[in-house]
Structure 1
């Protein structure tokens, strides 16, 4: 097989790879250009193949092109952001991994694998510009920012009230705060409440989800960019500058790349930032509140959070309990959400049936308060002209099926009789619910006689 045949074969194989693949020879001419790269850059391979790279991408040069840079240096570049124009002048933003190629010990060319983040970059630029407008008080009348305060936080369980007490004390100072809670427990609600009860309340509150943006873009969002940092870069303030005097919420800090955590640590220690590509140190006064949806100690052990950053952030620690651990709050929260959606949906529901309460209390709520609110929203919308939220509305939502998929928790400290009772009660309640309390049908599902089921229901106090 000749080298031309080999290249033609590779072109066909790489045609089916989802990531963009671009290969140049030692003279800088394109020899492989797959379909994904065509779609990413909005061009046809006929426009690129067998042509010098810089003839096609005129916005690049020997320094800004990752392919040509690797070809010259022989050193791989991993996860490098590149902004350039295609042959039609359209701006493309990619994350590239580029490696040199050699054949029999001689330089052969360079290969690049590219991921398209053009839309994500545009979105991040919009976010930064919008946040900058907010911080400068230039928002339009149509833009409404939801502000949560401690008055919006409901809960009477001891663990929850303990977390709330710590949060209220945290509002009296500017120390870093680390909030731990499962998804849907209300971490941002706590963070906003701390900010708006503090002496920073009249200054910006900016939240950034660390899991939603690639590392190369997240750094620019946090610390800003300077003109010339990379092709297409402009002078733009990051959210640390925009939030000066206020509070930044770094949501899901456990998803922030470790290398970026080191830069964040330096900012927290030294009190200034430096934009990407810039040389000027910019002092900032920002309170940082970070959240994690997994136990922070375990996140440190798994190297998801740097130990030194953990100690820097964990000055004030707040642990928001999961809804399944504060069951006494489920019905009061449900009543609160019913009132809320009565107003929105023009309903008049003011009673929760006993069967509905049983269903709500049985569910483990993996999505926590957010899942409960969405469930009540849907149930209220499905309830016809009635003052009662009945179990049929929840049944329509298949909440009972979600309950049935849950594991039966077995306490290994119980004896065999207690363990069997726990399992038996679960199965009986499940069968009765699925059959709308029809004992005959429930008994058939359980494979026992009707009289036996009635006896067990009486024995266990099941109605």
Structure 2
């Protein structure tokens, strides 16, 4: 049946139909509520995301249809009631059938002459990705760090934490510069977990750990028939699609692969080894480097053009020697950690022990400090406070010669009761093995080489002496 409508009304209906069709073609969910909190726009994609029909939502108050966790509030309702805009907020809630939904939302109020007349939400669905993450134990383990776990009160560390938090708002590449043991991966995971990609995959690869001949296949994948035994296998870029890929020690990546990585970043496509077709990928790159990028470029360990692409955001993680104000906080965190693991009840470091730690420059940074606390707690017995004499031999030998000399005298039996030679030799051997282990960060191969014994022989002594 045809209706003869006035020209203005006909144009109005035509535009309404056009807007509705446009909204239904969008690949993001659109949800609009009026000043009373009732839904007035609910596009097709939003119906798919929330598994709802239009008639179940349109014209009804949002909080009558959807249920939120006790500690969560609807960002759409907040935009209406508080006039608060939010971007890239992950939200988990339930539809009227109890189905869990997880989205990344942009929400903002609709203003008319300064008055709030409604609110709009634009939603991206990550429900399926969230389900995959929950079912995959390894992925959950790979992304365990958040900003809350970065310890420090020094201005240098608080500054870089603040810069890192800003980097969560975008998908730009990040270059993290810092010495070994400063916690570069901790920052990388925290950026990922604080971003809109937190529900997607986080993968990490050390570029120094894989031979050049295998690295290309690992990064970009392989096509069946590319070489003998080759199968269709996705590389790290495809596996991390939609998420974040951390490339550790980027200065160890071969120049030829650095060139291919540059192409991936520029064109957002990858080509599997042996394939003729490109595949689009959406991956955020975070790279780390353990030296000054200027030195790496000057010594041909890092391509200048790749550096410019990676360093859209550059974070410089301060070494521990430049943030000694944080030593006590970090030490206490590690004491608490190993109390739980070892079922111990160590309360703290003595003031004298803390002063000794403050004298050390910590070339291995936070990782070295953690290993020091762990090693110390392995050797103490019933003490609830770590004293100087409990600290590693290498530190006491360098900074507290009195306690070190006392150990030597005790082993030699000076001023004490005589002890059989065999026991004295074993005590001296234990002390020396422990010292070399600590000086080499408990690296078995390196320690065995210095001691001129086999790995098996060293491992036997470690067990024998309880090291």
1:336 aligns with 2:333: yes
Of residues 371, 383, 386 in structure 1, which corresponds to 2:383?
A: 386
Matching residue of 2:300: 303
Matching residue of 2:270: 273
Matching residue of 2:394: 398
Matching residue of 1:30: none
1:371 aligns with 2:352: no
The C-alpha deviation readout for 1:358-399, integer Å capped at 9, x for no partner, is 22111111111111111111212222112211112214x433
Give 1:431 deviation, angstroms: 3.7
Flag structure 1 segments of 5+ consecutive residues without an equivalent. 1-132, 405-428, 439-463
Q: For 1:311 and 1:433, how far apart are their aligned partners in 2?
A: 51
Contact (CA 8 Å) 2:133, 2:201: kept in 1 or not?
Answer: no
Alpha carbons of structure 1 residues 382 and 134: separation in structure 2 relative to 1, 3 Å: farther
Matching residue of 1:219: 216
Give 1:352 deviation, angstroms: 1.1
Matching residue of 1:350: 347
What SS does structure 2 have at the residue aligned with 1:211?
coil
Alpha carbons of structure 1 residues 250 and 143: separation in structure 2 relative to 1, 3 Å: closer
Of residues 261, 279, 292 in structure 2, which corresponds to 1:264?
A: 261
Contact (CA 8 Å) 1:135, 1:204: kept in 2 or not?
Answer: no
Q: For 2:376 and 2:234, how far apart are their aligned partners in 1?
A: 44
1:60-139 equivalent positions in 2, closer than 5 A: none
What SS does structure 2 have at the residue aligned with 1:206?
strand
What SS does structure 1 have at the residue aligned with 2:169?
coil
Alpha carbons of structure 1 residues 143 and 262: separation in structure 2 relative to 1, 3 Å: closer
1:432 aligns with 2:402: yes
Matching residue of 1:8: none
Matching residue of 2:170: 173
Contact (CA 8 Å) 2:338, 2:344: kept in 1 or not?
Answer: yes
Matching residue of 1:359: 356
Give 1:159 deviation, angstroms: 1.3
What SS does structure 1 have at the residue aligned with 2:391?
helix
Q: For 2:291 and 2:302, how far apart are their aligned partners in 1?
A: 11
Q: For 2:206 and 2:302, how far apart are their aligned partners in 1?
A: 15
What SS does structure 2 have at the residue aligned with 1:399?
helix
Q: For 1:332 and 1:137, how far apart are their aligned partners in 2?
A: 32
Q: For 2:136 and 2:182, how far apart are their aligned partners in 1?
A: 31
Give 1:141 deviation, angstroms: 5.7
1:153 aligns with 2:150: yes
What SS does structure 1 have at the residue aligned with 2:226?
coil
Contact (CA 8 Å) 1:135, 1:242: kept in 2 or not?
Answer: no
What SS does structure 2 have at the residue aligned with 1:309?
helix
Matching residue of 1:287: 284
Report the RMSD for the aligned CA atoms in angstroms: 2.3
Aligned pairs, number: 279
What SS does structure 1 have at the residue aligned with 2:214?
helix
Contact (CA 8 Å) 1:135, 1:243: kept in 2 or not?
Answer: no
Alpha carbons of structure 1 residues 135 and 305: separation in structure 2 relative to 1, 3 Å: farther
Matching residue of 2:429: none
The C-alpha deviation readout for 1:264-307, integer Å capped at 9, x for no partner, is 00000001000000011100000000000111111011110000
Matching residue of 2:446: none
Alpha carbons of structure 1 residues 142 and 310: separation in structure 2 relative to 1, 3 Å: closer
Alpha carbons of structure 1 residues 143 and 245: separation in structure 2 relative to 1, 3 Å: closer
What SS does structure 2 have at the residue aligned with 1:398?
helix
Q: For 1:300 and 1:192, how far apart are their aligned partners in 2?
A: 26
Matching residue of 2:317: 320
Q: For 2:141 and 2:329, how far apart are their aligned partners in 1?
A: 27
The C-alpha deviation readout for 1:25-83, integer Å capped at 9, x for no partner, is xxxxxxxxxxxxxxxxxxxxxxxxxxxxxxxxxxxxxxxxxxxxxxxxxxxxxxxxxxx
1:14-25 equivalent positions in 2, closer than 5 A: none
TM-score (norm 2): 0.57
Matching residue of 1:204: 201
What SS does structure 1 have at the residue aligned with 2:368?
helix
